[in-house]
Amino acid sequence: MSVLVVGSVALDSVETPFGKADEVLGGSANYFAASASHQTAVQLVGVVGSDYPMDKLEPLRARGVDLAGLERAEGESFRWRGRYRHDLNSAETLETRLGVFSHFKPKIPTQFKSAEYVFLANIDPRLQIDVLSQVERPKLVACDTMNFWIESRRPDLLTLLGKVDLITLNDAEARQLTEQANLVQAARWILERGPKTVLIKKGEHGAFMFTKDSVFFAPAYPLESVFDPTGAGDSFAGGFMGWLARTGDLSEANMRRAVVVGSAMGSFVVEGFSIKRLLEVSREDIENRVQDFHQLVAFDRALGA
């Protein structure tokens, strides 16, 4: 089963302690699609300006990403310029030029409307809600969000929560949205407002999956060198949703496995600029990293004294 993603398609210019990249593929939809494409076919909905280097998207198309929903609008593409300091913990935004993205009005192509797995990447919650009115009856709808929408579109975001099955957000966003310092309480707050599953991403500190009855935790893979953290969250989401769409299995056990696939994809993407590593890794690399994750946390609970 394919997965539909609606999000940003951007050009990023990034500076890290290890190098610089100019005008490379960026945006949530690109990262998500490149990641999910290892598991299943991807349908992408987004917008680019007339200046977007469409040839750079060819590797995505070649990997089974259907770009029929990628609108080309008159004007400039969305550009983000950022810098990471030595600790790589948080991006410093140097410049954001929304361009045509500021008028983005997602239009889901007819052939995408029957999508069973839908990821509403981080865009205006009003648009995320609008997308849901265009699709038929997905098996799983997940959304992401960010501090900007939590502040400026709170009522819409709460409406959205009532319409999605799952939300991914980082720990700071979870605390901001719920006004709960404790993540367990934050997750419960969200679970009471609609989503059956809450994925809280903690960057280098791993990710939690909360449901009403269970908590699952996957660490971030302890990498020896993190090159560029951009896109880790969307790559995580892509691996997670891609795995679910590929397997069609929404059991707790399989969703745990999906979190680990997501974590594996997050650990790959930060090894290089843009989606470079996502295009390089093989399904075997992913499988090996999933096994590494198992080894990382495995302990013998029967071992006694």
- Which residue from 243, 262, 265, 268 is in contact with its own copies, where contact means CB under 8 A? 243
Alpha carbons 236 and 175: distance in angstroms, whole number: 20
Q: How far is the CB of 26 from its own copies (least distance, A)?
A: 24
DSSP state at residue 168: E
Using the contact rule CB under 8 A, the part of the chain among 111-119, 157-165, 228-236, 243-251 near its own copies is 243-251
Residue 299 in contact with its own copies, rule: CB under 8 A: yes
- Which residue from 217, 250, 271, 272 is in contact with its own copies, where contact means CB under 8 A? 217
Alpha carbons 212 and 187: distance in angstroms, whole number: 9
DSSP state at residue 27: S
Using the contact rule CB under 8 A, the part of the chain among 101-109, 147-155, 160-168, 204-212 near its own copies is 204-212
Residue 208 in contact with its own copies, rule: CB under 8 A: yes
Residue 211 in contact with its own copies, rule: CB under 8 A: no
Handedness of CA 21, 22, 26, 30 (dihedral sign): negative
What track of x and - describes contact with its own copies for positions 20 through 59 (by CB under 8 A)? -------------------x--------------------
- Which residue from 62, 68, 158, 184 is in contact with its own copies, where contact means CB under 8 A? 184
Q: CB of 45 within 8 A of CB of 70?
A: yes
DSSP state at residue 249: -
Q: How far is the CB of 79 from its own copies (least distance, A)?
A: 29
Residue 88 in contact with its own copies, rule: CB under 8 A: yes
3-state secondary structure 30-92: HHHHHHHCCCCCEEEEEEEECCCCHHHHHHHHHCCEEEEEEEEECCCCEEEEEEECCCCCCEE
Residue 213 in contact with its own copies, rule: CB under 8 A: no
The nearer residue to its own copies, 18 or 148, going by C-beta atoms, is 18
- Which residue from 59, 109, 219, 272 is in contact with its own copies, where contact means CB under 8 A? 219
- Which residue from 10, 141, 150, 260 is in contact with its own copies, where contact means CB under 8 A? 260
Alpha carbons 290 and 259: distance in angstroms, whole number: 10
E strand residue ranges, the chain = 3-6, 10-16, 19-26, 42-49, 65-73, 78-84, 91-97, 117-120, 140-144, 166-170, 197-201, 207-210, 215-218
Using the contact rule CB under 8 A, the part of the chain among 83-91, 93-101, 141-149, 189-197 near its own copies is 83-91
The token pair at 179 is 């006004």
The token pair at 249 is 């299995």
Alpha carbons 41 and 97: distance in angstroms, whole number: 30
Q: How far is the CB of 113 from its own copies (least distance, A)?
A: 25
Alpha carbons 211 and 85: distance in angstroms, whole number: 35
Residue 181 in contact with its own copies, rule: CB under 8 A: yes
Residue 83 in contact with its own copies, rule: CB under 8 A: no
Kind of pairing, strands 10-16 and 19-26?
antiparallel
Using the contact rule CB under 8 A, the part of the chain among 106-114, 134-142, 182-190, 266-274 near its own copies is 182-190
Q: How far is the CB of 74 from its own copies (least distance, A)?
A: 42
Interface residues with its own copies (CB under 8 A) are 39, 86-88, 181-185, 202, 205-206, 208, 214-219, 222-226, 243, 246-247, 253-254, 256-257, 259-260, 290-291, 293-301, 303, 305
